[in-house]
A and B are shown apart, each in its own frame.
Chain A
Amino acid sequence: MSAAKNGVTENDAHERARKLIALAGTEAVSGADDQSSNAWLAEHMSTCASCRAFAENAAETIRGLRAIPIAAERSLVSTTQARVRRRALELQRQRERLWLVSVSCTAVSLIALLSTFALWRGFEWLGARAQLAPLVWQVVFVVFCVTPALVTGVLLLLRGTHLADHSGSYQS
């Protein structure tokens, strides 16, 4: 029972030591953060040959890992830089276009608001001059405002119908 318990404890000690070695890397004992772990590891290593061998192998493996040379070729770097610059230019143009569209939308909305207000006052004045009932000049005002959009819509529909009639493949 006691022997089994001792075996488990010993295995735990090896496991702990190897974990500390692995995490510390090539710095091995001196790389461990915790001072007490450091001291414990040093003590364990002085008596445990298998953990010492593990530490040596780990250090060698890590050195080997660091020695594997993988380098980016010059052409890859220059191609990437060119691609990044091109994309940066595209993004800048996109941003400029977006800014232009936003400014245009704001200007159009502002002008529409002002002109609607001016037209409303104009129709009101005309209605008063012509002694029309308010409902009449208001209806005329609505028709006046809506007509351009209606005419454009009808024209577009007609154009679509025209294409459908003559090409025969409009739908496809």
Chain B
Amino acid sequence: MNATACYFENSMAQESTEIARGLRRRDPDLLDRLIEQYQHRLLRYLMYLTGRRELAEDLFQETWIRVLERGHQFNDKYTFSTWLFAVARNLTIDYMRRKQPASLDGLLNDGEAAFDVPATGQASAFDLSLRREQNEHIAAGMEHLPAEYREALVLRFQEGMSLDEIANVTRVPLGTVKSRIYRGLNELEPWLKGAPL
């Protein structure tokens, strides 16, 4: 292992230890910092998981309350984001179970409007419109994917998690994670060209 990789691994381990210590103390300043740090990633994950912004925002708040209450359970052997996403996922499943006895399969696909994709960037009007259109197609495709595939794609390609980390968050074997990513990407491909929109 080279020195840079070793340095990053050590600093990540140290950061996890500090977070674990702070969570055990229920340090509000640390939590403020973590909320700031993970705000977009967590909300994005919850939005893809639930498909609804209002619900995702509610669950976002509940997730941080849960992090505060159960912070002592965080094991610093793992990265904080893995644990955070697992907490968010469990809360979402609990919510769905309360709403109707179902697993993640019950998420989305209930006909409600989902991802709102605002325009971004400083590109030309044409580029912007093209990119927006493509993003809309992909967002629409995501909306139609089974929740398990969608979750695997988000964790892998948006959150940049390793396959092992995804397996930890979703509590499924590594092989299942791999096949979900492969199938998800396969099913998303036709949407890239906007075919079934």
Contact = CB atoms under 8 A, between A and B. Distances in A.
Contacts of B64: 80, 83-84
A25 B81 CA distance: 20
Given A60-B192, A68-B135, A87-B68, A22 B186 contact: yes
A18 B185 CA distance: 10
Given A61-B189, A65-B153, A67-B135, A72 B69 contact: no
Interface in A85-141: 85, 87-88, 91-92
Interface string B129-149: 001001101110010000000
A57 interface: yes
Contacts of B142: 65
A22 B43 contact: no
Nearest to A62: B157
B39 to A, nearest CB: 4
B78 interface: no
Nearest to B178: A23
Given A61-B138, A79-B61, 13 more contacts: A58-B189, A62-B157, A64-B135, A64-B137, A65-B188, A69-B117, A70-B43, A71-B43, A72-B39, A72-B42, A80-B35, A84-B28, A85-B28
19 contacts: A18-B182, A25-B156, A61-B188, A61-B189, A61-B191, A67-B131, A67-B135, A68-B115, A72-B40, A76-B61, A79-B61, A80-B60, A81-B31, A84-B64, A87-B65, A87-B69, A88-B26, A91-B26, A92-B26
Interface of B: 26, 28, 31-32, 35-36, 39-40, 42-44, 47, 57, 60-61, 64-65, 68-69, 115, 117-118, 120, 131, 134-135, 137-139, 142, 153-154, 156-158, 163, 178, 181-182, 185-186, 188-189, 191-192
